[in-house]
Amino acid sequence: MPTPYDEMWEKLNLDLQAHEGLLAVLGKFYGDIYLTQDKRLKGMEYLDFVLSEVHGLRIKELQEAKAQSRKIIGTFCVFVPEEIILAANGVCVGLCAGAEIGKEAAEKILPRNTCALIKSFVGFKLARLCPFIESCDLVVGETTCDGKKKAYEIFADYAPVYVMEIPQMKNACDRDLWKAEIRRFKDKIEEITGNTITAEKLAAATTIVNDRRRALQRLNRLRAASPVPISGRDVLLINQVSFYDDPIRFTQQINKLCDELEERVKAHQGIVPENTPRLMLSGCPMAVPNWKLPYLIESSGAVIVGEESCIGTRNTRDLVEEKGQTVEEMLDALADRYMRIDCACFTPNTERLDNITAMAKDLKVNGVIHYGLSFCTPYATEAFKVEKALQAAGIPMLAIETDYSMEDVEQLKTRVEAFVEMVR
Ligand code: BJ8
């Protein structure tokens, strides 16, 4: 069926037929998982709208920004400092993908035992299905896990790629390396946008990104109430959308949603009964439209009250200090804030164990589900330590490894239901 966006998609060189199929599947999936929920907040209508226009209106906005000479910078990791991009009047979009489409094409140039997230972004590019990737003037990769690091070498044949070196340890020399990387990134972004990053612009950009983090922190505090006032699925969606929506508009909308949530908490209204088991997710990021596990959990009689993940609290927990006056001081503040990220790519990574345990206690969860994507060595290996740390705190954990396919849904459901029964 023709849409008002066909011409734009054609210009972006999308495979129109395959793209139409993708949107149809996505729409159906979204309807089943999201729109069937009871007692949803009115504020979620904004998120429904953004999702329905994810390849439409938002892409149109990106094209308009490009027409005004703004550059679109795509990223795959929460290590890439968005503040630098915004300070140079660029637009930052998250490119991680959570769908299986394009897997076959990806497996022609990547080992089969690569995690689904990597196969997905490569597959989306090869199958010409992602208008975000096609809109990018630069794609920023990073040296986190080996899978991503090597995939960017291949991806560079298809898109303009720049790679940031992320340290793997947290000693003083690693922090120095990281500060130098942030400076190198600033130079690159200034070169590609043609704009100089001044202290004033960097301070303004830092406030924009911090404000978004503050809104998401507020959301996380409110959702922790009992009875739980918003589903974990909805909060995951909000976090996912935060990666590609306009940051100022998004923050306003989430603060409005939080006002509504506050009323609900005051009125002691929940979306599930007060004695519903409270679970926390921990582990690999869940990119759009990867809603499989949260849906299974929440349709098995539990509710999710936190995500210890990059599409969750790892991305919002720490703010950048806003005291700096000069560009140099602000770059230092950025380096310090981003060095606190506790990704499993670091060694040792004891902070993550402490953070997970503290979060599970704060949220008063009955259990944690550790989610690892198949073939993700960093998170799968760390799962053993996470389980031990949680055990010591008296909190049960279920480790799940899966991918984006639907083949294991029944098996997962059985395991999740048994876990929910056990913690109940
Ligand atoms: S800071 S979690 S966003 S790297 S799932 S591709 S680790 S094999 S996504 Fe990540 Fe940055 Fe870390 Fe966060 Fe590799 Fe694992 Fe795949 Fe992963």
> 246: CA distance to ligand 1 center in Å?
24
341 lines ligand 1 (CB under 6 A): yes
| Other Cβ atoms closer than 10 A to 333 | 19
Residue 101: the pLDDT is 87
Q: Whose CA is nearest to atom 12 of ligand 1?
A: 343
Residue 2: the pLDDT is 82
- Report domain extents, the chain: 6-30+59-202
| C-alpha span between 335 and 44 (Å, rounded) | 34
> 145: CA distance to ligand 1 center in Å?
6
Each residue of 10-22: pLDDT tens digit? 999 999 999 999 9
119 lines ligand 1 (CB under 6 A): no
| Contacts (Cβ under 8 Å, ≥6 apart) of 279 | 232, 297, 302, 303, 304, 305, 365, 366, 367, 368, 369, 420, 423
Residue 96: the pLDDT is 87
79 lines ligand 1 (CB under 6 A): yes
164 lines ligand 1 (CB under 6 A): no
Nearest to 242 by CA among 218, 223, 262, 215: 215
pLDDT mean over 112-120: 97
> 147: CA distance to ligand 1 center in Å?
9
Each residue of 280-310: pLDDT tens digit? 999 999 999 999 999 999 999 999 999 999 9
Report which ligand 1 atom has the smallest distance to the Cα of 118.
6
pLDDT at residue 1 greater than cutoff 80: no
287 lines ligand 1 (CB under 6 A): no
> 263: CA distance to ligand 1 center in Å?
36
| C-alpha span between 276 and 424 (Å, rounded) | 8
> 179: CA distance to ligand 1 center in Å?
21
Residue 249: the pLDDT is 98
At the top level of CATH, the class of 6-30+59-202 is: alpha beta
Percent of the chain with pLDDT over 70: 100
Each residue of 198-228: pLDDT tens digit? 999 999 999 999 999 999 999 999 999 999 9
148 lines ligand 1 (CB under 6 A): yes
pLDDT at residue 54 greater than cutoff 80: yes
| Contacts (Cβ under 8 Å, ≥6 apart) of 121 | 76, 95, 96, 97, 130, 133, 151, 155
310 lines ligand 1 (CB under 6 A): yes
118 lines ligand 1 (CB under 6 A): yes
Residue with the two structure tokens 């849906």? 295
Each residue of 380-419: pLDDT tens digit? 999 999 999 999 999 999 999 999 999 999 999 999 999 9
Q: Whose CA is nearest to atom 15 of ligand 1?
A: 376
Q: Identify the weakest region by mean pLDDT among 21-25, 43-47, 352-356.
A: 21-25
- Choice from 120, 148, 346 to test ligand 1 binding pocket (greatest atom count within 8 A of CB): 148
Residue 105: the pLDDT is 92
Each residue of 313-350: pLDDT tens digit? 999 999 999 999 999 999 999 999 999 999 999 999 99
Element spanning 31, H or E = none
> 113: CA distance to ligand 1 center in Å?
15
Q: Whose CA is nearest to atom 10 of ligand 1?
A: 77
> 93: CA distance to ligand 1 center in Å?
17
> 200: CA distance to ligand 1 center in Å?
32
Whole-prediction pTM: 0.98
Please provide the average confidence, as pLDDT, over all residues in the chain.
Answer: 97
Each residue of 230-288: pLDDT tens digit? 999 999 999 999 999 999 999 999 999 999 999 999 999 999 999 999 999 999 999 99
345 lines ligand 1 (CB under 6 A): yes
Q: Whose CA is nearest to atom 8 of ligand 1?
A: 376
Residue 203: the pLDDT is 98
131 lines ligand 1 (CB under 6 A): no
Residue 241: the pLDDT is 98
- 359 phi, psi to nearest 5 deg: -65, -45
Residue 204: the pLDDT is 98
- Evaluate whether 223 touches 258 at the Cβ level (below 8 Å): no
